[in-house]
Amino acid sequence: MRVVALIPGGVGEQILFFPTLDGLKQKYPDAEIDVVVEPRAKAAYRVSKSVNDVITFDFKDRSSPADWANLLGVIRDRYYDAALSLRQNWGTGLLLWLTGVPTRIGSEDSAGKYFLTHTVPFNADQYTAQSNYDLLQGMGVKAACPEVAISVPKSDIDWAEAEQKRLGIRGSGYVLMYPGKSLLAEGETSYPLASWLTIVEDFQQKQPDMPLVIVKQTGDLDTVTTLTQAVPSLKVTKPADMGKLAALVAGANLMIAPNSVPMHLAIALQVYTLALFGSSSSSQVLPKSDKFIAIQSPTRSIADIQPAEICKGLGRLRPWTSETFVLSQFWQFSWVL
């Protein structure tokens, strides 16, 4: 069986689709699964264990008729048996109909549903990974939705162990904090620098022996520079790709981040996580677990979350202080890409 999934959105949207891809692979172990994603989201599949190939396509309105024709040709030439689509417009439905893929599945609220062979109910209020997984009803999959999980390459785990050594934190445990803006989910704005500084100072006062590591990404230079100038004991890491970031997250005791790629990776790796939410809904993004706490802004603006609320949330996640995760142990049960 050959299956293609059309998944618009960024890296976070891809990670929340991983349970659907994994569930499909569990039901049909010999299936070859390809995905069509935006160029900005391709990096997510460095840590996927179920996908054979990634086809890039800009689902936004910038795509020309020639781009759509090229995608049509690619899908037709691969003779897929089934297609899953998260895209809600009629154009994608028409595209799938033109490809001749015999089984075309999407949600029943899709504008292009008349071009599909199977539609499934869509519940906008439930956990997004579950909503995505419901698409598999169209392929006869009735098993429970698996948890979000990722596969970290061995080479990236080796890098993370070397990075821990460079930072002087190997074996001591550490907390990761992502204060930047370049990896935020769509619709989210960055949390104010002054508030981050308050959290850092409070954390170091209460946990002086626990290293605090800042995740730095392109575009975050000013934020990270200001924080490290104010608190010289902060450690800074800049993973070069998704796999290295995931490996570093895997070794952390705790992740503090807004709704962003590092947050999604921490959830997938079952790392204790304190997540900040502004305009997006935490109930759609976070699974129910004592390991994950969401701080939702009452005004839907992340800037209005008070640092005191975040510090209070850290107290509610107290078990992380006694858990030190060794990457070599993680490697024993990770998948190899």
pLDDT at 335 > cutoff 60: no
- CA 327-333-337 angle, to 5 degrees, is 90
Q: Which DSSP category does 81 fall into?
A: S
Return the CATH number of 2-139, one of 3.30.750.24, 3.40.630.30, 3.40.50.2000, 2.60.40.60. 3.40.50.2000
| Residues 157-208: tens digit of each pLDDT | 999 999 999 999 987 899 999 998 888 888 888 899 999 999 999 998 988 8
Q: What's the whole-model pTM score?
A: 0.92
Residues of the chain with CATH 3.40.50.2000: 2-139, 154-333
Among 149, 184, 153, smallest CA distance to 277 is for: 184
Q: What is the sign of the dihedral through the CA atoms of 159, 325, 237 and 190?
A: positive
Confidence of residue 50 (pLDDT cuts 50, 70, 90): very high
85: β partners: 6
Residue 297: phi and psi, rounded to 5, are -65, 130
| Residues 129-160: tens digit of each pLDDT | 999 999 999 998 988 999 999 999 999 999 99
Residue 47: phi and psi, rounded to 5, are -115, 25
| Residues 232-266: tens digit of each pLDDT | 999 999 999 999 999 999 999 999 999 999 999 99
Helix (H) or strand (E) holding 32: strand 32-37
Q: What is the DSSP string of 142-174?
A: -SPPPPP-----HHHHHHHHHHHHHHT-TTT--
Helices (H), 106-153: 128-133
Exposure on the CB side of residue 189, measured as CA atoms within 13 A: 11
The CATH number of the structural domain formed by 154-333 is 3.40.50.2000
Among 296, 246, 300, 299, smallest CA distance to 274 is for: 296
Instruction: Provide, rounded to the nearest whole percent, the portion of the chain with pLDDT above 90.
Output: 73
Q: Is 96 helix (H, G, I), strand (E, B) or coil?
A: helix
Confidence of residue 323 (pLDDT cuts 50, 70, 90): low
Helices (H), 48-192: 65-78, 90-99, 128-133, 154-167
Sheet hosting strand 175-177, strand order edge to edge: 235-237, 212-215, 175-177, 254-258, 272-277, 292-296
